[in-house]
Structure 1
Amino acid sequence: MMERIITDKDTVTALRKLQKKDSEVIQYVSRRLRVWVQTEQHKAIRPYYHFAVCLYPSGQVIGYELCKTPNEKPSGKQVLDFLCRILLQPPNGEEAHRPGTISFTDQELETQLANELFSYGIRTQVLQPAEGLENLVKAVSESLIKRELATRTNASERPGLLSKQGVDLSLVQSFFTVAFQLRQKGPWYEFSESQVYGIRLLDRFRFVVILGSSENVFGIAVSSSLSHFRKKYCQAMGMNWLSSSSSEVFCTFCGAQQLLYTYRCSQCKIAHYCNEKCQKNDWPVHKQECQSSTMRERENDIVRPYLKRKEMTLIYCAETAVPFDDLDLQSQYCCPLYPNEDNFPVAFVMIDNGETVLDRPTKEELQWLIRLCEVLVDSCGKPVSVLNEDSIIQNDKMIYVETLGSHPSTATQLSGPKEMEAKD
């Protein structure tokens, strides 16, 4: 049975003497602000704040204040103390009174406080957060920054995983869950960072590097380009980079690298594709480019990032490097988190189109990343040859488990590009 939370007798007596406005409804919510503040121990935290809003009849903010222990979700006793305080001494200067109802967004909190508030003649209920509450949280956050009492990082306000069209809550929850499992398994302790693994999933080939052997950054990097990882490794090690292909070609629609042969548009002869499906899906966009003489004249200066390398990365880092939107999702839906503070999962895509641009994964990319994490979780402790019945790329000529920094054999050009007619 849940322990009853009570206040001192003087407070109870004072509350019961207040005039009651039976039709008034107040909502209580606790929220973490969208800022970082530094504790006395020089640790960055997102502080919790109490918020009270009059849902009916005024629709105005009644009061808000920093929680007693700002780095922890407030306890039922702290919430009750805050509510009693603003009822007896309203911050907005109104005459003190009792509302007819106080609503909560947390069922557990409502259960904790229901009996005590009922003894004051106040009903309780559970409702969705008031419209505009998030704007209030942002406004309070901005006021602290202007007063130089808080700050935020460059990563904090970047778009969250839900910002991409088609990415829904269930997909994001799946990502957080499998990322937690991968962090527990720790494949970086058994797979070398100097090796790249070819993996076939969801009808596509991808090349994977396990990050973490240096114990600085833990995670995985995924690309459709093998030479991309060769080049990065050689640059990091101060080695000369020898490209395995004199002319790298990437699918204009999905970004997959075409090492041996490719399809291309028969009109502009610039846009390359994996197959007819990719060409057809890209046509609504490419139709405008294809008719442009500028595109044909500037083949080596195309602005579309899909013609260049894309690398998808999952790393584990401190809270301050994670967008607030993703942190709020993890907290709101109780997604599992590794106990160490520097192990919050972040997924992003790096697009190399002359300069590096960061983006969030699309629905397809996030699905692929989730499936790959599942394979790696299942593979830890097993020989590489049995990662998955179809996970290692195998054909008549090669199995891709390559040590970076070695001198790979030059890929053979099997045939020239196959031209594809533009599709209306």
Structure 2
Amino acid sequence: MAHLENEYLTKKYQKWDHFKDDDDDDTAIPATSKPTQYDHAGDAEITIVDQMLLTPAQLEKYKRMDQTKSEIWQIVVRKLRVWSASSEGAAEGDDAIPCRPYAILVNNIYPLGQVVSKKICDPPEVFPTAQEILALSLEAMADPPNCIPQHRPDKIVFADKKLVGELRLSYAALGIECTYLTESEGIDACIAELSGHLVRKDMASIGAVSEKPGLLSLGLTQDQVVEFYDTCAKFAELQPWLRLVERQAIQIDATSSLSLSSKPHSSVQGGSVYVSVLGHVDDPNTEDSLKGLALFFTRTDLQRRVLPPGQKLALLENAKLRRCAACDKKAAEDKKLKRCTRCQCVFYCDAQCQRNHWKDHKVNCVDPSKQSTEQKVTWGARELSVFFGNITAMPFDDLDAIDK
């Protein structure tokens, strides 16, 4: 996992010790205000674990409590929308490893519609055990909020079928029904409020892009987002920037078009694209440069990618290297490709090819006489790029989609 900048990791891990006592600006957010309908459809998929997590003393104590008929609690385990130092590595500084802390929310979803207890896990990067979740629910029964008498709920539900299987027998021993139910309305708002509370108290932080819209906002499905990031992970694991230099490229030919959704600009036609690596390094242990993948839709854009001062493309000197920027074909032996009269850098078979390519080419078509005379490296073409950086540079929405 990549390391996070110092500004996010300046708090000791013991910051969670007094979390429950430091709640002055936390407002109660209803988990839901509507009666809950049970979803037993997935009950057959639950594997019941034959284990009793209650001690005889706990059984005797909590069975004596009154039980409120029809009261439903939902227990949710979610990653918060913040970054903090994990228990691994240093407690602060460059050697600290960032994590999104797990939090347990115990919600009275009927009839009250409010959070009755919450806890940040210890260690924060580890999903809580069934024993920890049971303990928090027992604490909520013994010490409910707002001067409510001690009592047992009628039902406790989870959106995680594995937890249902691990805790059903223990809750059944207390006369509490334990089953599966999809997350109730308002959970996202509860997580957002709890995360904001930690940021306001300087107990955690968020990155510059953490709350920006992710790939789901572009119309992609969750499965497509997961597949994309899974492919990116495999690409990063192979580290092609150790074997290829940035001026090497691979041509990829697609025989059919692809449409991801019905939204505009969400489909691509079949044809050829060109890819190259970003951030070539000889020794990954000593160099720390930005890594990535660049994709070009035309050979011309690829060839014009980065032009050092005073350097010309070989095709401008050698007519045999020229190809049509639209259809990528070479000229017939008895014909010559026509040059763009404005930028004088690209060539076409005919006027039709030039019209077809103009939408893509116009962003790069610049009159050489109007270009800056400064002697510096400039981008010669626009490209679609994928960069590999710190995990903290990803939107929370995308990270949540991957986890699901």
How does the TM-score come out when normalised to structure 2? Answer: 0.63
Q: Contact 1:118 / 1:124 at 8 angstroms: preserved in 2?
A: yes
How far did residue 233 of structure 1 move? 3.7
Match of 1:313 among 360, 378, 385: 385
Is 2:330 the counterpart of 1:242? no
Residues 187/21 of structure 1: CA separation in 2 closer, same or farther (3 Å cut) = same
Aligned to 1:61: 115
How far did residue 191 of structure 1 move? 2.6
Q: Specify the code of the residue in structure 2 equivalent to 1:314.
A: V
Residues 274/117 of structure 1: CA separation in 2 closer, same or farther (3 Å cut) = same
Unaligned 5+ runs, structure 2: 1-47, 257-269, 317-323, 327-344, 361-369, 371-379
How far did residue 168 of structure 1 move? 1.6
Matched residue of 1:43: which SS? strand
Residues 63/261 of structure 1: CA separation in 2 closer, same or farther (3 Å cut) = farther
Distance 1:224 1:194 in 2: 16
How far did residue 193 of structure 1 move? 2.5
Is 2:275 the counterpart of 1:221? no
Is 2:184 the counterpart of 1:130? yes
Q: Contact 1:258 / 1:274 at 8 angstroms: preserved in 2?
A: no
Match of 1:22 among 61, 69, 78: 69
Match of 1:183 among 236, 254, 270: 236
Tell me the alpha carbon deviations over residues 336-375 of structure 1, each in whole angstroms, 9 at most, x when there is no partner.
xxxxxxxxxxxxxxxxxxxxxxxxxxxxxxxxxxxxxxxx
How far did residue 207 of structure 1 move? 2.2
Distance 1:54 1:263 in 2: 69
Alpha-carbon RMSD across the aligned residues, in angstroms, is 3.3
Q: Specify the code of the residue in structure 1 equivalent to 2:272.
A: F
Match of 2:401 among 314, 325, 329: 329
How far did residue 315 of structure 1 move? 3.0
Matched residue of 1:195: which SS? coil
Aligned to 1:195: 248
Is 2:169 the counterpart of 1:169? no
Tell me the alpha carbon deviations over residues 24-44 of structure 1, each in whole angstroms, 9 at most, x when there is no partner.
111000111111113425322
Q: Contact 1:225 / 1:309 at 8 angstroms: preserved in 2?
A: no
Is 2:107 the counterpart of 1:47? no
Q: Specify the code of the residue in structure 2 equivalent to 1:322.
A: M
Aligned to 1:205: 272
Residues 5/32 of structure 1: CA separation in 2 closer, same or farther (3 Å cut) = farther
After TM superposition, the structure 1 stretch with the greater mean CA deviation from structure 2, 112-121 or 313-322, is 313-322
Residues 4/46 of structure 1: CA separation in 2 closer, same or farther (3 Å cut) = same
How far did residue 64 of structure 1 move? 1.4
Q: Contact 2:76 / 2:105 at 8 angstroms: preserved in 1?
A: yes
Unaligned 5+ runs, structure 1: 252-256, 265-270, 280-299, 301-307, 333-424
Distance 2:325 2:188 in 1: 42
Tell me the alpha carbon deviations over residues 135-163 of structure 1, each in whole angstroms, 9 at most, x when there is no partner.
11111111111111111111211211111
Residues 259/138 of structure 1: CA separation in 2 closer, same or farther (3 Å cut) = farther
Q: Specify the code of the residue in structure 1 equivalent to 2:396.
A: F
> Structure 1 vs Structure 2: percent identity of aligned residues?
24
Q: Contact 2:300 / 2:325 at 8 angstroms: preserved in 1?
A: no
How does the TM-score come out when normalised to structure 1? Answer: 0.60
Is 2:139 the counterpart of 1:85? yes
How far did residue 225 of structure 1 move? 5.0
Is 2:89 the counterpart of 1:32? no
Matched residue of 2:155: which SS? strand
After TM superposition, the structure 1 stretch with the greater mean CA deviation from structure 2, 89-98 or 135-144, is 89-98
Matched residue of 1:150: which SS? coil
